[in-house]
């Protein structure tokens, strides 16, 4: 099984041009030994040949490469910290070696298949790190499931944060409503960094939720803990709104400056300044 030459892409083209700059120059200079009549004819042919040889060779993933990657993928589901990470490096090298859309889609589907099976946490960690770079809509459904689990939510955010697809934003927003505690806090920060305007209503409601009111002195430990998480959630929401910007966010931050809870008030003031910065950068201050 051999791969096919990759469709033209700018990064590969630029890289190839840079890499074979010297080789092409030497090829051209070599042609100067021909007399003028043949120099240009054979010179261009030779350079064209050399360029294509290098360009398509770069894109060619050999059968051996594919075998190595497939063998590595068999080892990844059971990878644990402390093991040799040679198999992981093999997969990373494969990703770096090709921008072939089909090859990467194949790999992403393999990742999804693995994540849907019984795997170690360290395997999930590794795959999410790769999806941070190459993830597309293909992997969003499985990442959505990981978002809902406290143990894996952080790494799912790690993978989804830089994915500009609207589906990634929707996955995070949907998970916002289904999660609690630390998982939800991580999702809030990710939405803030993505400047997701569609979650503003939800974030505002989290800032002024009943559970953010200061707990009474005689509150039980579990009530204190619940209040603590609610306040951390509110603070995360405040910071996210500051990054997102917009009038509604500004109003919420202004109200938060007189919140009943001291910790929320303390977070709101600097967040309001940051919101103002965001508005200036977005050039929509009114």
Partner 1 sequence: MKNKGTLGRRSFVKTTLTAGIGAPMIVPSRVFGANAPSGRLTMGCIGVGGMGTTNMQKFITREDVRIVAVCDVDRLHRLNAKEIVDTKYGETHTCGPFHGCSHYNDFREIIDRKDIDLVLIATPDHWHAIPAIMAADAGKDIYCEKPIALTVPEGRAMCEAVRRNGTIWQTGSWQRSVENFRFACELVRNGRIGRLETVIVSLPTGSEIGPQPEMPIPEGFDYDFWLGPAPWAPYTEKRCHWNFRWIMDYSGGQLTDWAGHHCDIAHWGMDTELTGPVRIEGRGDFPSDGLWNTAKSYRFECLYENGLKMTVVNDAQEKRGIRFNGSEGWVHVDRESFDAHPKSLLTSIIAKNEIHLYKSTDHWGNFIDCVRSRAMTVAPIAILHRSVTIAHIGNIAMLLERPLQWDPGTERFINDPEANRMLSRAMRSPWGI
Q: How far apart are alpha carbons 195 and 266 in whole angstroms?
A: 22
CA neighbor of 202 nearest in space, from 225, 153, 169, 228: 169
Apex 245 CA angle, 239 and 251, nearest 5: 85
Structure tokens at 153: 């939510």
Q: How far apart are alpha carbons 237 and 240 in whole angstroms?
A: 5
Do 237 and 196 meet the contact criterion of CB atoms below 8 Å apart?
Answer: no
Per CB under 8 A, the segment of 30-38, 209-217, 232-240, 251-259 that binds partner 1 is: 232-240
Instruction: Choose which of 24, 66, 75, 134 interacts with partner 1 (CB under 8 A).
Output: 134
Considering only residues 20 to 79 of the shown chain, the ones binding partner 1 according to CB under 8 A are none
Apex 125 CA angle, 122 and 127, nearest 5: 110
Per CB under 8 A, the segment of 12-20, 34-42, 139-147, 216-224 that binds partner 1 is: 12-20
Report the residue number, 6 or 239, with the smaller CB distance to partner 1. Answer: 239
Residue 270 touches partner 1, criterion: CB under 8 A: yes
Q: How far apart are alpha carbons 188 and 202 in whole angstroms?
A: 10
Residue 103 touches partner 1, criterion: CB under 8 A: no
Residue 101 touches partner 1, criterion: CB under 8 A: no
Residue 231 touches partner 1, criterion: CB under 8 A: no
Residues near partner 1 (CB under 8 A), total? 50
Q: Which residues contact 212 (CB under 8 A, 6 or more apart)?
A: 227, 230, 231, 233, 234, 259, 260, 261, 264
What track of x and - describes contact with partner 1 for positions 159 through 188 (by CB under 8 A)?
-xxxxx-----------------xx-xx-x
Binding residues for partner 1 (CB under 8 A): 10-12, 14-15, 18, 81-86, 89, 96, 125, 132-134, 153-155, 157-158, 160-164, 182-183, 185-186, 188-190, 192-193, 232, 236, 239, 269-270, 273-274, 276-277, 279-280, 285-286
């Amino acid at each position: 099984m051999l791969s096919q030459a990759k469709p033209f892409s700018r990064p590969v083209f630029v890289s190839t041009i840079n890499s074979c700059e010297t080789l092409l120059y030497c090829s051209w200079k070599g042609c100067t030994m021909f007399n003028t009549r043949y120099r240009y004819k054979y010179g261009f042919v030779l350079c064209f040949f050399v360029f294509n040889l290098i360009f398509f060779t770069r894109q060619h993933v050999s059968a051996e490469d594919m075998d190595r990657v497939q063998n590595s993928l068999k080892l990844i589901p059971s990878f644990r910290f402390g093991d040799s990470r040679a198999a992981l490096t093999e997969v990373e090298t494969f990703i770096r070696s090709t921008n072939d859309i089909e090859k990467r889609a194949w790999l992403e589907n393999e990742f999804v298949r693995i994540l849907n099976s019984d795997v170690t946490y360290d395997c999930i960690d590794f795959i999410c790190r790769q999806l941070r770079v190459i993830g597309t809509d293909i992997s969003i459904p499985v990442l959505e499931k990981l978002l809902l689990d406290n143990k894996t939510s952080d790494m799912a955010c790690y993978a989804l944060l830089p994915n500009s697809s609207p589906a990634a934003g929707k996955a995070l927003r949907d998970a916002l409503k289904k999660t609690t505690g630390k998982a939800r806090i991580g999702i809030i920060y990710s939405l803030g960094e993505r400047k997701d305007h569609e979650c503003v209503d939800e974030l505002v409601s989290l800032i002024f939720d009943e559970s953010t009111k200061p707990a009474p002195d005689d509150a039980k430990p579990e009530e204190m803990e619940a209040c603590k998480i609610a306040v951390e959630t509110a603070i995360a929401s405040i910071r996210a709104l500051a990054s997102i910007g917009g009038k509604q966010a500004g109003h919420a931050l202004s109200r938060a400056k007189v919140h009943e809870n001291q910790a929320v008030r303390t977070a709101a003031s600097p967040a309001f300044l940051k919101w103002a910065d965001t508005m200036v950068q977005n050039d929509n201050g009114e």
